Amino acid sequence: MRFLLTGGAGFIGSHTCVALLSAGHDVVVLDNYSNSSPEALRRVERITGKKVKAYEGDCCKAQDVNRVLENEKIDAAVHFAGFKAVGESVHIPLNYYENNINSTITLCRCLSAHGVKRIVFSSSATVYGADNQPPYKEDMRVGGCTNPYGWTKYMNEVILRDLQVSDPEWSVVLLRYFNPVGAHESGLIGEDPSGIPNNLMPFICQTAAGVRDMLHIFGNDYPTPDGTCVRDYLHVMDLAEGHVKALEYAVEHQGTEVFNLGTGEGYSVYQVVNAFERVNGLTLNKEDAPRREGDLPESFADAGKAEKILGWKARRSLEDMCRDAWHWQKMNPRGYHG
Ligand code: NAD
Ligand code: UDP
């Protein structure tokens, strides 16, 4: 089958290109490269030996989306495109609401007009908010988000559910990602954050590489076993393979379905740091620091539904995630701009 990946040149999108091509599907990418590089797609071609058809364009612009749909026969779309920096979303909320919501509405209108009524959406564990206790289950009440980025994910879920109710021919799969980290094992593609990384694993990698002086561990007095926050880290290639299953499911079923994509296991910041040092044989400059505002003590999935219905389960370990993240960093000290 042939799938449209909006934001397909980004971190998760590029790995999903590899997983889909390796599973025998074709991919078409629509990306404006606002947070990525076309080089990622050339690397995907190197890894897979297959062609990636790419269009430069903005998902908020109907003419850009229609150009793709007029040229390509598409079976379903994955909507990765969007802004994703939590802290930035607090400072420029309108940019986040504009890009993350308009892109979904425009994409759905164009897909519908071309008779492509199947979409897999990149949602996030952040929609579980502060009111639920992990392990998070798909049927928990969502909302209570703590920042505009989180609200865009919540609102997109509502919009897509409402669309499906209005037109039962639609198939909507909402994927709530936990904490994707790592890189393809080749080291050719990986996470390439612009500026100072917000997320733990890229910050660890840049500290190990000497790009950053010091890793600050935000808070050691949380109500967790070692006092640092617990997250459900999953290898980005496991996450990518989850999209293959989700797309195949979307093609077979109508309705709205939501799946957590996580391992179901939580690791603390100290555990991640220790694993990274052990697996890669190095010592990080690190120090305990005050809590970061807005952090929840714990977040991890109940990963049972994706296993039961999609037949998907994360296979790679925390050690794999740490090894592959460092491999990518070492091979590409300046990301795709090296
Ligand atoms: P990313 O920034 O690497 O990829 C997003 C891609 O979308 C980029 O290539 C960017 O250039 C593109 N893009 C942004 N706005 C666009 C627009 N209007 N038109 C066309 N292209 C546009 O991010 P990622 O980590 O790969 O995340 C992919 C999706 O998954 C995002 O929606 C993100 O919010 C969601 N998500 C990510 C994480 C995570 O930790 N990385 C966790 C949960 C959910
Ligand atoms: N974290 C940290 N130092 C950093 C970046 C993150 O201690 O430089 C902590 C952060 O406080 C959180 C965990 O690592 O407890 C995961 O953070 P990340 O931003 O990667 O994911 P999120 O909090 O959005 O789930």
Closest-approaching ligand to the CA atom of 103: 1
Each residue's pLDDT tens digit, 137-171: 999 999 999 999 999 999 999 999 999 999 999 99
Mean pLDDT over 94-107 rounds to: 98
- C-alpha distance across the termini of the chain, in Å: 34
Measured CA to CA, the distance from residue 325 to residue 200 in angstroms comes to: 11
- Nearest CA-CA partner of 53 in 10, 15, 8: 8
Using pLDDT thresholds of 50, 70 and 90, give the confidence band for residue 337: confident
Give the closest residue (by CA) to ligand 2 atom 11: 218
Measured CA to CA, the distance from residue 21 to residue 27 in angstroms comes to: 7
CA of 71 from ligand 1 middle (Å) equals 24
Q: Best substitution site from 96, 122, 321 to test ligand 1's pocket, by max atoms within 8 Å of Cβ?
A: 122
Ligand 2 atom closest to 272 (CA): 14
- Nearest CA-CA partner of 211 in 202, 222, 221: 202
DSSP string, 289-334: EPPPTT--SEE-B--HHIIIII-------HHHHHHHHHHHHHH-TT
Q: Check pocket membership of 179 for ligand 2, CB cut-off 6 A.
A: yes
DSSP string, 75-115: SEEEE--S---HHHHHHSHHHHHHHHHHHHHHHHHHHHHTT
Across the chain, mean pLDDT equals: 97
Each residue's pLDDT tens digit, 230-243: 999 999 999 999 99
Q: Check pocket membership of 218 for ligand 2, CB cut-off 6 A.
A: yes
Place of tokens 């920096």: 85
- Residue 224 pLDDT exceeds 90: yes
Q: Catalytic residue among 55, 136, 149, 249, which?
A: 149
Asked if 43 and 67 count as a contact pair (C-beta separation under 8 A), the reply is no
Q: Best substitution site from 90, 136, 200 to test ligand 2's pocket, by max atoms within 8 Å of Cβ?
A: 200
Place of tokens 């037949």: 311
- Residue 338 pLDDT exceeds 80: no
- H-run or E-run covering 257: strand 255-261
Measured CA to CA, the distance from residue 296 to residue 63 in angstroms comes to: 41
pLDDT at 228: 98
Ligand 1 atom closest to 36 (CA): 9
CA of 57 from ligand 1 middle (Å) equals 14
- Residue 115 pLDDT exceeds 80: yes
pLDDT at 29: 99
The answer to whether 149 is a known catalytic residue is: yes
Strands in 86-194 per DSSP E: 118-124, 171-177, 179-181
Ligand 2 atom closest to 201 (CA): 20
Q: Check pocket membership of 229 for ligand 2, CB cut-off 6 A.
A: yes
Give the closest residue (by CA) to ligand 1 atom 13: 81
Asked if 224 and 295 count as a contact pair (C-beta separation under 8 A), the reply is no
Each residue's pLDDT tens digit, 250-294: 999 999 999 999 999 999 999 999 999 999 999 999 999 999 998
Q: What percent of the chain has pLDDT over 70?
A: 100
Closest-approaching ligand to the CA atom of 217: 2
pLDDT at 319: 98
For the whole model, what pTM was predicted?
A: 0.98
Measured CA to CA, the distance from residue 48 to residue 18 in angstroms comes to: 6
Give the closest residue (by CA) to ligand 1 atom 43: 124
Mean pLDDT over 185-196 rounds to: 96
Each residue's pLDDT tens digit, 67-97: 999 999 999 999 999 999 999 999 999 999 9
Measured CA to CA, the distance from residue 303 to residue 245 in angstroms comes to: 14
- Residue 219 pLDDT exceeds 80: yes
